[in-house]
Amino acid sequence: MEPATPYDLKGAAAAGIGNLWALPHTQLYSECGRLAEAGLLSEEREPDGRRRRLFRMAPAGTEALEEWRGDATASEWELRDAGLLKLFAGGDPIALAEVQIAAHTERLQGWQEMREKFKGGPAGPMLALEAGLGHEREYLRFWTAIRDGDPSPGGVSTDSSSGG
């Protein structure tokens, strides 16, 4: 693996994993140093110029990554969606739907472009891209149904008197 600066990692994350996992840019900078201190990354400094910090995976980091990837247990999952939060809090469903449809259409296009870019790549990233595509398609189905007046876009009764 070639050495990379936190700035290089920020660009790589934005083009890939940042679509699957929220990763604040500041965290990349601080985590690189923390991982180097823990012996999971090796660190060099450029000898002159800006003297940027260059990081490379250390053998212990490769081992820790393999161990983490091999842990097939379910992890916590958290849905953080401002549109759904506003809908839950009583926001105008039609106004929210219009904005959400536009946003999810754009994200779907981004996922499709990534799929083409990484076509023929390793199975894991390709499968994750398919999950992202499915996620965006479902959001589009949901918000389009709301926009089009479907009182129950998920097939769940919205009648609060039925006890459900």
Q: Please tell me the predicted confidence (pLDDT) of residue 161.
A: 44
Last residue of a domain, one of 19, 50, 70: 70
Residue 90 has pLDDT above 50, yes or no: yes
Query: What is the pLDDT of the chain when averaged over all its residues?
Result: 85
Residues 95, 66, single domain; the answer is no
Residue 98 domain boundaries: 82-150
Count of structural domains within the chain? 2
What CATH number is given to the structural domain containing 48? 1.10.10
Q: Is residue 90 part of a domain?
A: yes
Q: How many CA atoms lie within 13 A of 146 on its CB side?
A: 22
Report the DSSP beta bridge partners of residue 61.
none
5-14, 26-35, 80-89: which is most confident: 80-89
Residues 6+ apart with CB under 8 A from 4: 12, 54, 55, 56
Q: Is residue 102 part of a domain?
A: yes
Q: Please tell me the predicted confidence (pLDDT) of residue 89.
A: 92
Residues 86, 144, single domain; the answer is yes
94-107 pLDDT, tens digit per residue, is 999 999 999 999 99
Q: Is residue 160 part of a domain?
A: no
The three-state DSSP-derived secondary structure of the chain is CCCECHHHHHHHHHHCHHHCCCCCHHHHHHHHHHHHHCCCEEEEECCCCCCCEEEEECHHHHHHHHHHHHCCCCCCCCCCCHHHHHHHCCCCHHHHHHHHHHHHHHHHHHHHHHHHHCCCCCHHHHHHHHHHHHHHHHHHHHHHHHHCCCCCCCCCCCCHHHCC
Residues 63, 89, single domain; the answer is no
Q: Is residue 75 part of a domain?
A: no
Residues 102, 42, single domain; the answer is no
Residues 49, 100, single domain; the answer is no
Average pLDDT on 75-95 reads 88
Residues 100, 130, single domain; the answer is yes
Encoding tokens for residue 74?
A: 């379910």
Average pLDDT on 134-153 reads 90
Q: Is residue 155 part of a domain?
A: no
Q: How many residues does the chain have?
A: 164
Q: If you ran DSSP here, which 8-state letter would residue 56 be given?
A: E
Residues 99, 122, single domain; the answer is yes
Q: Is residue 50 part of a domain?
A: yes
Last residue of a domain, one of 35, 70, 105: 70
For the ranges 66-70, 133-137, 141-145, the lowest mean pLDDT is seen at 66-70
pTM: predicted TM-score of the whole model, two decimal places = 0.68
Residue 91 has pLDDT above 90, yes or no: yes
